[in-house]
Amino acid sequence: MFHMANEIIFEVQQDEADGGYVASALGHDIFTEGETLDELRKNVRDAVQCHFGDGAAGALPGVIRLHFIRDEVLAT
């Protein structure tokens, strides 16, 4: 099991205007996007490695968690 300090969490939302997905890290200035979920996953990994790559922002997290936010509108 991984310790919370060893993971980073991204909130992911579908970009309704342009399509695709946008992701932002909680507690870090990391933002990225992708046209597909596979592209988003790759871009998130790349962004995390870039952000933590020089060690200035801390140790590279061992786990990246994607938390999907979805709005659903129901007619009354």
Is residue 74 in a domain?
no
CATH code of the domain covering residue 35: 3.30.2390
- Strand bridging mode 63-69 / 31-34: unpaired
Q: In what order do the strands lie in the sheet with 63-69?
A: 31-34, 21-25, 7-14, 63-69
Structural domain span for residue 41: 4-69
In the predicted model, what is the mean pLDDT of the chain? 90
How many domains are contained in the chain? 1
Average pLDDT over every residue of 56-75: 89
In this prediction, residues 66-76 reach a mean pLDDT of 89
| Residue 35 forms part of a structural domain | yes
Q: What is the pTM of this model?
A: 0.82
3-state secondary structure of 72: coil
1 or 52: which carries more pLDDT confidence? 52
